[in-house]
Amino acid sequence: MDRRIRNLTIAAVLSFMLLTFALIIYVNRDKTKPAAKVQEAETVTEENVVAAGYRDFLKDDTFFDNDEYRPVVVKEEQRLPRLYLTASSIAHDMRLSVTDEDGRVVRGISFFVDIEPEGEYKDLDKDGLIYVPELTAGDYYVTLKEVEGYEVPEDPMRVTVKEQLEYTVIEDIALYVKSEDEIDAEIEDTEVHEAADDADETEHTDKWEGTDAAFGVDVSKYQKDIDWKRAKEAGVQFAIVRCGYRGSSSGSLVEDPYFKKNMEGAAAAGVQLGVYFFTQAVNETEAVEEASMAAMLCKDYKLDYPIFIDVESAGGRADNLDTDTRTAVIKAFCETVQSAGYHGGIYASRSWFEKKMHDEEIEPYVRWLAEWRATPKYKGNFSLWQYTSSGHIDGINNRVDLDLVWNGSKGGENGADQP
């Protein structure tokens, strides 16, 4: 009996040991596989690169140097340049300009706009500007039509057309000013010196001596480069500088190419400054434009003399204005520059002062007389006198207009008050 129990016990122990050994083998079966098998399972292929990539960069410092694993960057869709509409109104009119994102007028494209309820208008000369006259005062809605290669405003712009003319500076006038590179200056910058008809052989062509009047010059691009220091040393005390003109053919507003250079040079030499604009305005609206341009160009300079409107023949669009219209043009110009804080003045020959404007209506403004003789025949009051257009002054190579202005009052019929 005891022997049988012993044998059973031994058998049970052996069975337990075998079972335990089998269990151990089962639990550790993966760890017993060859190392080559493990590496084969870990190998990354083209099919599973995306899934395996997140582990590979941990093991390889040069992982992202390989273009195969470099992330793809989706580029943002290229945005088209945007166009903008700018509008203004003086009286019963509308001025539209198409500008870029830097506020510059876009030229060279025929723009179309729809003005509700008027209809469609086109920029025929491709200068980025559209002028619509003779509109009834009120609100209009302007839409810039689609332009290939550009993004245009989605919503229409409301523009209020004014009822009454206002003698105030047009804020966006700079958009309408051109350089001589954009026009034909030989056709547009013309003038007829009718003061020559009032001249005689007594005309002085040098600095006027023996007077208490201040001595000066008036200049434009035609004098070209001026040595203002030498001119100052030669006795020049003041200069009236042309800032620009309106084209006698097209009516374009054009800046004198030497304006800034003359203003800066004269100021640096200690020469006092005034400004003139050669007009070709045919109505009050255009006169406000011209005055706005002059005021805009002068904003960075200190003026000691007025801004003058130069009224004379040009063989162009304004020569045949009647006296009423020309007087209205002069008043509109002077009132507009005065609204900007400057003095307004008129330059004209004796015959023009006497015959082509209403004397009593221009009384409030400074008069600058052009009469090329030793003693003027003009009977009215004037403050400045241009006594020659053929002057010679050191520092100015070309012939130049010479002028006098009196400090206080000069005796006689031509009593002149300083501006």
Token pair of 404, please? 């006098």
Shared domain check, 180 and 124: no
Rounded to 5°, the CA angle 165-168-173 comes to: 100
Shared domain check, 124 and 88: yes
Shared domain check, 89 and 61: no
Shared domain check, 295 and 319: yes
What's 181's DSSP letter?
G
- Residue 10 has what pLDDT? 72
Instruction: Give residue-wise pLDDT tens across range 292-312.
Output: 999 999 999 999 999 999 999
**Angle between helices 323-339 and 284-298 in degrees, nearest 10:** 30
Shared domain check, 367 and 241: yes
Residue 21 located in a structural domain: yes
Mean pLDDT of 258-286: 98
Give the closest residue to 86 by CA, choosing from 110, 109, 113, 108: 113
- Residue 408 has what pLDDT? 44
Shared domain check, 288 and 221: yes
Give the closest residue to 247 by CA, choosing from 220, 221, 279, 276: 279
Q: For residue 103, what is the domain's CATH number? A: 2.60.40.10
The answer for 139, left when phi > 0, alpha when psi is -120 to 50, beta otherwise, is beta
Residue 79 located in a structural domain: no
Residue 416 located in a structural domain: no
Instruction: Give residue-wise pLDDT tens across range 19-41.
Output: 776 666 666 665 545 444 444 44
Range of the domain at 285: 174-405
User: Does the pLDDT value for residue 229 go beyond 80?
Assistant: yes
Shared domain check, 197 and 274: yes
Instruction: Give residue-wise pLDDT tens across range 114-157.
Output: 999 999 999 988 999 999 999 999 999 999 999 999 999 999 99
Shared domain check, 149 and 36: no
Token pair of 271, please? 């020469």
| Domain final position from 161, 193, 218 | 161
* Residue 308, amino acid: F
Confidence of residue 57 (pLDDT cuts 50, 70, 90): low
The number of distinct structural domains making up the chain is 3
Q: What is the pTM of this model?
A: 0.77
Spatial separation of the C-alpha atoms in residues 264 and 391, rounded to whole Å: 22
| Domain final position from 69, 101, 119 | 69
**Contact yes or no for 357/320 (Cβ under 8 A):** no
Token pair of 265, please? 């040079």
Token pair of 276, please? 């003139």
Backbone φ and ψ of 27, nearest 5°: -65, -35
Spatial separation of the C-alpha atoms in residues 125 and 107, rounded to whole Å: 9
Shared domain check, 137 and 10: no
Shared domain check, 288 and 228: yes
- Residue 415 has what pLDDT? 33
| Domain final position from 26, 46, 69 | 69
Q: For residue 317, what is the domain's CATH number? A: 3.20.20.80
